[in-house]
Amino acid sequence: MARAASPYSSKGGSVYHVFSDCSAGKSIKRSLKVSGKGNKKLCGACKDIKAGKRTR
């Protein structure tokens, strides 16, 4: 079961993530990771995780 995290995104990215298991979110370098949604859209993978279509 995917764990929800507080929203985070990549500096300069166009989407934000809400799951720490998200494969796209996981690939964000620690130095580029910022917390918050910013003015961004929810990541497609996170959307699918939320809908139960995938786990990461």
9 binds Zn ion (CB under 5 A): no
**What minimum distance in Å lies between the beta carbon of 14 and Zn ion?**
12
Q: Using CA atoms, how far apart are residues 30 and 32, in angstroms rounded to an integer?
A: 5
Q: Using CA atoms, how far apart are residues 16 and 40, in angstroms rounded to an integer?
A: 6
Single out the segment in contact with Zn ion by CB under 5 A; choices: 6-14, 27-35, 45-53: 45-53
Q: Using CA atoms, how far apart are residues 51 and 7, in angstroms rounded to an integer?
A: 17
43 binds Zn ion (CB under 5 A): yes
Q: Which residues bind Zn ion (CB under 5 A)?
A: 17, 22, 24-25, 43, 45-46
